[in-house]
Amino acid sequence: MLRIESISKTFYPGTVNERRALDRLSLILPDGDFAAIVGSNGAGKSTLFNAIAGSFLTDSGFIELDGEDITFRPEHLRSREIGRLFQDPLMGTAPHMSIEENLSVAYLRASGSRYSFFSRVGKREKERFREQLSLLNMGLEERMDQPVGLLSGGQRQALTLLMATMVTPKLLLLDEHTAALDPATAEKVLLLTENIIRERKISCLMITHNMNQALSLGNRTLMMNRGTVVLDVSGEERAGMTVQDLLDRFAGNAGREFNNDRILLSAFPKGSMREEAERGERGREERRGGEEP
């Protein structure tokens, strides 16, 4: 169980850039809960993940995982129990190491004694890697000697997912981990994520900008604004909700409209608006790419 008690974090305190990213945020995530988090840009979603994972220490409040106070535990020790996936598929794997070596790093980090520095991966583990890779259905089990840098974004993200859950974590943090993938791959990775989470009953927090996902995935929806949780629905209340309800509730709670194009666009899945926006975004990206020397 994850218990967050009134954590706050202010960036650049005492300067003109001072920004309160987390504002007395409290949250309890019971074992096996899978919560989707939505919120405007700058609402503090990623900051919350960074605080939980230990990328920085919070200014006040405390964080407990499974009854243990981890508020001041360094990041690399927390990551024994917290798995994490980023939006950028390049961030979760080492490109010049082979698939097998990447899996070995993930496997060796959490298994066995903390001080078994010289342990190596044996034949039996390699067989296990092969089995798990075959579950991804991407043919990666035949390419275990190849460097990860040769894989596509979707394959790398699937591999990262496998690595993060190789030894079941107490908590899984998914930071828009399918946002950078093409729609078909994104769906595949998402399905994979759901399966793993369901089978192993992993507690999970997932940031998404897709309102439909926010309501359909997992068993709970959280909405953040200005560094705190403004909406927390689950059970029947959530089951009866539509995307429009969610948007209305946000406006009601936050006292303002959503400021995020991507959220609003994803709220109308098959509308022309979305296509147009995607085209626009692609165009923008091309222009941006063109400017580079």
Partner 1 sequence: MTAFLTAGIIRTALEVGLIYSLVALSLFMSYSILNICDLSTDGCYTLGSAVGAVLTIAGHPILGIFAAMLAGVCSGYVTAFLQTRLGVESILAGIIVNTGLYTVNLAVMGFSSNLSIFGTETIFSLFQGISGSAFWQDWSSLILLALLLLLTASVLRLFLSTRLGLSIRATGDSPAMVRASSINPAFTITVGLCAANSLTALAGSLIGQYNKSSDINLGIGMVTIALASLVIGETIFGRKKMTMRILGVVIGSCLYRLVIAVALRLKAPTEAFKLVSALIVAFAIAAPRAKELLSFERKRRRAMRERRRERGEGHA
**CA nearest neighbour of 2 among 172, 168, 167, 164:** 172
Judged by DSSP in three states, 211 sits in helix
Q: Does 124 bind partner 1 (CB under 8 A)?
A: no
Q: Which amino acid is residue 278, in one-letter code?
A: E
75, 232, 245, 261: which one binds partner 1 (CB under 8 A) = 75
16, 67, 118, 288: which one binds partner 1 (CB under 8 A) = 118
93, 155, 178, 213: which one binds partner 1 (CB under 8 A) = 93
Residue 105 CB, nearest approach to partner 1 (Å): 5
Q: Show the CA angle centred on residue 151, arms to residues 146 and 156, nearest 5°.
A: 110
Nearer to partner 1, 101 or 141 (CB): 101
204 near 197, Cβ under 8 Å?
Answer: yes
Q: Does 116 bind partner 1 (CB under 8 A)?
A: yes
Q: Does 125 bind partner 1 (CB under 8 A)?
A: no
Q: Can you tell me the distance from the alpha carbon of 182 to that of 70, in angstroms, rounded to the nearest whole number?
A: 36
Strand 34-39 and strand 19-29: pairing? unpaired
Nearer to partner 1, 124 or 270 (CB): 124
SS (H, E, C) 139-187: CHHHCCCCEHHHCCHHHHHHHHHHHHHCCCCCEEEEECCCCCCCHHHHH
Judged by CB under 8 A, how many residues of this single chain contact partner 1?
Answer: 37
Q: Does 152 bind partner 1 (CB under 8 A)?
A: no
Nearer to partner 1, 77 or 239 (CB): 77
Q: Does 104 bind partner 1 (CB under 8 A)?
A: yes
64, 88, 125, 245: which one binds partner 1 (CB under 8 A) = 88
Contacts with partner 1, residue ranges (CB under 8 A): 53, 55, 74-80, 84, 86, 88, 90-97, 101-102, 104-106, 108-110, 116-121, 147, 163-164
